[in-house]
Structure 1
Amino acid sequence: MRMAGAIAGALLITGCGGSGKGGTTDVAKKPDTKPTAAPSVPMETTVKKATWTDRDQARQLKVAPIRLIRGKDADLKRVRLDDNVDGMVPFYLTVSYTNTGKATLERPDPEDNFTITLADGTPGRPIELMNMNPLATESAVPKECDKGGPATLPPGSTGEACQIVMLPKHRTPAIVSYTDEASGALTWKIGDGKGYAGTNGLMAAGQSADAMWQDDNRDVPMTVTLTGMRKGDIGDLSRFQLSAEQKKMTPYYVTLRYRNRGTHTLLPTMQDGVAVSSAGGQRIQPMTFMDFSTPGNGVGDCRSAVAHTRLKPKSSLTMCSVHMMPAGDQPVAVTFKGEGAGAHQFGWRVP
């Protein structure tokens, strides 16, 4: 089971053959001439209980990241990379997983549920080395990343495997995450958990940024300010019909103020551009509810729409949106992406 939201780029090594994960080739292997590996990046390595969902059955595990190494462009110079990882560098994340259930696991791959995220919640792009050619691996790629994990894992046994995650060159990772549909998200800090640089380009709550929004095919300039964010309780939404999965989540209420700097009146639909980025690398859009007109349970002031309202030029409007966070995950940033010419995405650190 591959982690939801992760992007797996297929890698093909020039002149290679073989059978993919755990496969072999017919080419004789050269003596190991790899250079000394780079020092490990400091991170939390606490072992945590988790599940690994295989064919819709949740298997019980204990998992942990055990080593993280930042690679170099040259590590994959013989590899044909997908275009979506251009300008990125590899990070080699080695993880361990122990089978705490009663049945032997066949071809387990819980390493695929791990990824690395930046301080603003941007997830890395996990990739796999497929059809490995041993003659093309004389690089700094760790040995454990040249092969897959164990083919089977009996009860009580522990396996190790490597996940290669591509991240932008000039950004520093902040969090390792493990996500499974049956147990939500687990997270571990890398360094101080702030990406070392701290803000990674994020603003503090209360700061404003210029944006653009469209109404009736007209671009309208705005100023957008995050005024608050608070954690709710699933009981707040008891009068709304929720799915079984949503009932396991936690609502977060995000409030932004919009000021119309243009000359045209705006229909207030700006929540469409709001999202909460999570430690698990997810981008969580606002929930849409049919009616918030009746106050109560703490959400009466957090509306998905403001009926019979328009945002007039030189006027401001404060709006609130509800974002449902999966179990175990946590918000790290609020982002806004505008519409129209010159529109871009910006964000704030979670207050």
Structure 2
Amino acid sequence: MRRRGMTMGFAGVGVLALAVTACGSGAGGSGGDTGGGSGKGSGKPAAAEALRVESAVRQATWTGPDGTYRLKIAPERLARGTAADLEHVQLDGDLKGMVPHYLTVRYTNTGSAGLSRPDPESNFTVTLADGTPGKAISLWNSNPLATASSSGLPDNCDKAAPASVAAGGSATVCQLVMLPKGQAATVAYADEGGDTLLWKVGDGKGDDGDLLPAGTTADSSSEDVTTKGEAVPIRVTPKSVRAGSLADLGDYELSDTQNKMVPWYVTIEYRNAGTRKLLPVMDDGVGVRSAGGLDVRPLSLLDLSFSRPGEGEGIDKCRGSIPNTRLQPNSTLSLCTIHLLPKGDHPAMVSFEGESEGEGEKVKPLMWRAS
């Protein structure tokens, strides 16, 4: 039985409403004490640490209640706060220990119709070097009689977005994004047209965290289905991560969404470091997380090349030939997996999940930088 030690579920960004428990405005009494740092006790937001971020303006689309609109869009500022910024905010359990980041974006309505209730900022996220996306959240004030914001977040990140933006008009909005500890690497926008827009934070590399350098050999295990599920030690080495062409998959039936994406080929070498033979199915444990924050499992394709000449030829360089026999002890085998990503996105992290060695035991997943 396969027992994967890791469930990777970071795809997408949810918007979560939080209750602000402090009362009154920053101008009056203790209710204005909203965080640590230089702002503590002053009634003013603590200064957030500004991070260098690309600010190139890109063409984008956003879908609202009345249709899809064309925009010009770009991050304008990114700053990292501290937990003290939210000391008066009730955080859900999965957000505790995360670090608030304040992402200010500017967009211009380039269409001929006005935008009603626009929120393109909610399509933005900030990701770590391994592709882990932040969680965008909004705040609501639990004191309806307050005359001003009771949270006092840096960069006006507790202010409401505009109710509308006229044709040709622009808006600047701050989005509060909670990130696990680590150095941000990328700002990403999920375009409504299906593509992903990326901007580097700093040099775009973030920090290593638990990531292994690309191409590093690491130890894991694989299930030996011929001996009642006992795990066999293996050595795992990522060999290459490269983009392909959608034409490579021309002989396969893809969905409308998949037909707008780009295949990425991940080749990994496996060495049987045990004393028993292995079936060559290790590629089941491969995953990719993208710079845009998507978690992507391998694409399953039914190869009918035995019945229709030419079928699958476009991806033969990736897939190669998989032996019908088992992998012998001290022998190696390279397998390639195919992962579909939106245009503009690219793999940030490659992972491998080995099988457990027994009931209740888990194998630590391996994670490498994609490049």
TM-score in terms of structure 2 length: 0.82
Greater mean deviation of Cα atoms: 143-152 or 258-267: 258-267
After superposing the two structures, state which structure 1 stretch, 268-277 or 44-53, moved more: 268-277
Per-residue CA shift, 1:218-257, capped at 9, x if unaligned?
3332211101122211111111112222222111111101
Q: 2:322, 2:202 → 1: CA distance?
A: 42
Distance 1:59 1:66, change over 3 A: same
Cα-to-partner distance string for 1:94-124 (whole Å, 9 max, x where unaligned): 1111111122111111111000011121111
> How far apart, in 1, do the equivalents of 2:66 and 2:313 lie?
35
> Identity of counterpart residues, as a percentage?
48
Aligned-partner SS, 2:171: strand
Partners of 1:13 and 1:310 in 2: how far apart?
Answer: 59
**Counterpart selection for 2:15 from 8, 11, 32:** 8
- Report the Cα offset of residue 207 of structure 1: 1.5
1:210 and 2:222 matched:
no
Summarize the alignment of residues 136-147 of structure 1 with structure 2, pairs less than 5 Å apart.
141-142=153-154, 144-147=156-159
**Is residue 333 of structure 2 the alignment partner of residue 333 of structure 1?**
no
CA displacement at 1:136 relative to structure 2? 10
Aligned length: 336
- Measure how far apart 1:60 and its partner are: 0.8
Partner of 2:192: 181
Give ranges in structure 2 of 5+ residues lacking alignment. 1-9, 33-42
Asked whether 1:86 is paired with 2:96, we answer: yes
Alpha-carbon RMSD across the aligned residues, in angstroms, is: 2.7
Aligned residue identity for 1:62: K
> How far apart, CA to CA, are the structure 1 residues paired with 2:295 and 2:48?
32
1:137/1:60 CA distance change after superposition, 3 Å: same
CA separation in 1, counterparts of 2:215 and 2:45?
A: 49
Q: For structure 1, which runs of at least 5 residues remain unmatched after alignment?
A: 17-26
Once residues 224 and 291 of structure 1 are traced to their aligned partners in structure 2, the CA distance between those partners, rounded to angstroms, is 26
Q: Tell me whether 40-49 or 138-147 shows the greater mean CA deviation.
A: 138-147
1:128-169 Cα distance to aligned partner (Å, 9 max, x none): 213454599666612521122101111111112221111223
How far apart are the structure 2 equivalents of 1:9 and 1:289?
A: 37
Q: 1:60 to 1:15 in 2, by over 3 A?
A: same
* CA pair 243-176 structure 1, distance change in 2 beyond 3 A: same
Superposition deviation, residue 308 in structure 1: 2.8
Matched, 1:67 2:84: no
Range moving further from structure 2, 88-97 or 130-139: 130-139
Contact (CA 8 Å) 1:179, 1:185: kept in 2 or not? yes
Q: Aligned equivalents of 2:174 and 2:134: distance in 1? A: 15
The higher radius of gyration belongs to: 2
Rounded to whole Å, the distance in 1 between the matches of 2:73 and 2:93 is 32
Whole-angstrom distance in 2 between the partners of 1:39 and 1:186: 24
Distance 1:39 1:218 in 2: 50
Distance 2:187 2:92 in 1: 23
Matched residue type, 2:345: D
Q: Which residue of 2 aligns with 1:148?
A: 160
Q: CA deviation at 1:347?
A: 2.3
Task: Report the counterpart of residue 20 of structure 1 in structure 2.
Answer: none
Q: 1:314-338: per-residue Cα shift (whole Å, max 9, x none)?
A: 3322101111121121222222222
SS at match of 1:40: strand
